[in-house]
Amino acid sequence: MYTLSAGIWEKFFKKKDYFVVIVGLDNAGKTTFLEQAKSHFVKDYGMLNPSKITATVGLNTGKVELNNTCLNFWDLGGQESLRELWPTYFDDANAIIFVVDATRSDLFPTVSALFKEVISNDAVQNLPVLVAVNKSEMEGASPAAEVRMLLEDENHQSDLAVLPVSALEGTNIERCVRWIVRTLASQPLYL
């Protein structure tokens, strides 16, 4: 009887911990995305002033709790010299957020190659991947549909979402976090 009660308690009340890696080119808005996620879901969180956010050297972390789910974010630096460290985080990840600067179409070939490198990693093959097309509110930004076509890869076997966001304004950040939670919860593999 105890085992049944413990199982029921765990199913309904224990928080499920997931690890979400945030990657993308340097200056795409990864840290601002994380700050907005924390400000939307962490009560009384004092968000960093976006104008004071500098390039991440190493990683930033953050935690967001939603219902019985705890998302632990690892925001990794996007400089070329730091990208070789990304795969070490993929082994423990449950989902990936790939942030793209929609205003830098000149970097799209690099973004495409980097995205394909990330999703071809064995540890990422079956993970849900959210592409946050950042700075979508700015004039001259490429639409999310264009970025989706740029990043299409028939080899990725799991869920892929491409959403326009404005990390600066917080637009669609909550939607992104809720997509991750919903997608992870629907896949027993990640429990």
- Determine whether the annotation assigns residue 135 to a binding site: yes
- Determine whether the annotation assigns residue 69 to a binding site: no
Given the structure tokens 């892929």, which residue do they identify? 160
- Determine whether the annotation assigns residue 75 to a binding site: no
- Determine whether the annotation assigns residue 30 to a binding site: yes
Core vs surface per residue 58-70: b (16+ CB within 10 A) or e: ebbebebebeebe
The domains of the chain, with CATH numbers, are 15-190 (3.40.50.300)
Least confident of 56-60, 94-98, 110-114, 182-186: 56-60
Q: How far apart are alpha carbons 95 and 109 in whole angstroms?
A: 24
Residue 189: pLDDT band with limits 50, 70, 90? very low
Instruction: Tell me the pLDDT tens digit for each residue of 94-116.
Output: 999 999 999 999 999 999 999 99
For the chain, give the mean pLDDT: 88
- Determine whether the annotation assigns residue 150 to a binding site: no
Strand partners, 171: 166
Instruction: Tell me the pLDDT tens digit for each residue of 17-53.
Output: 999 999 999 999 999 999 999 998 888 777 777 666 6
- Determine whether the annotation assigns residue 121 to a binding site: no
Q: Residue 121 has what DSSP assignment?
A: S
Q: How far apart are alpha carbons 59 and 78 in whole angstroms?
A: 10
